Chains A and B, each alone.
Chain A
């Protein structure tokens, strides 16, 4: 199956700093990627849909100025958590869909555990 690479896998930062998370589709092109957030023992919550070459679409309640998404190429989307605070600590996961022949599977990155001190 398709491979989605997410980096870093874990980051610890001080409150007020910004953190960038990268999501790459390694062997396919992804015009659309999705960013999810997951709290411990909870399900995945969609944050935003990242579209190559255009603005991301954010879910209700997700601050677009807080969570900056850039999808500059067909294989890379980045999520930047700006001015991070302890309440931003969470597991962030990106995903991308491989298109073709009606294939709608979403492939996920390995996730990034963000801890804000």
Chain B
């Protein structure tokens, strides 16, 4: 089902450290997952995606890990920078095809300079 949280959890990280943002998804049939970054007053920006037949995917400074056994997704950001400060959402595609994504509740990342 759709997970919409009441409060945004916050993660504070020192500049240069690695960040790990976690997400629990609800539908075991979901086969596609995306991480989005949303800065204040803007629409979400695509960061990285992963299909259910993979358990890890790397991009530039970001890595997504998928654990289907416990329905858990994580986003790792290496050498976190002030520009990484934003709200991060995971999203799942519960059905193959042209269906809307279901968004997680989001995590606010604050980078301390």
Chain A interface (Cβ < 8 Å from any Cβ of B): 1, 4, 6, 31-32, 34, 41-46, 49, 91, 93, 95, 97, 99, 104-111, 113
B98 within 8 A of partner (CB):
yes
Interface majority SS (helix, strand, loop, mixed), chain A: strand
| Interface Cβ pair total, 8 Å cutoff | 60
Identity of the chain A residue whose Cβ is nearest the Cβ of B32 in the assembled complex: A104
**How far, in whole Å, are A112 and B46 apart by their CA atoms in the complex?**
18
- Let me know if B45 and A42 touch, CB within 8 A: no
**How far, in whole Å, are A86 and B105 apart by their CA atoms in the complex?**
25
- Let me know if A43 and B89 touch, CB within 8 A: yes
Total contacting residues, chain B, CB less than 8 A = 28
A32-B98, A44-B103 known; A93-B89 Cβ under 8 A: no
B59 within 8 A of partner (CB):
no
- Let me know if A106 and B101 touch, CB within 8 A: yes
**How far, in whole Å, are A34 and B91 apart by their CA atoms in the complex?**
14
Chain B interface (Cβ < 8 Å from any Cβ of A): 2-8, 32, 34, 36, 41-46, 49, 89, 91, 93, 98, 100-106
- Let me know if B4 and A97 touch, CB within 8 A: no
- Let me know if B106 and A43 touch, CB within 8 A: yes
Partner of B4, one of A42, A105, A109: A42
- Let me know if A107 and B46 touch, CB within 8 A: yes
Partner of B100, one of A34, A107, A111: A34
Complex A-B: 19 CB contacts under 8 Å: A6-B43, A34-B101, A41-B7, A41-B8, A42-B5, A42-B6, A42-B105, A43-B3, A43-B104, A43-B105, A43-B106, A46-B102, A49-B100, A93-B43, A95-B43, A104-B49, A104-B93, A105-B49, A106-B100
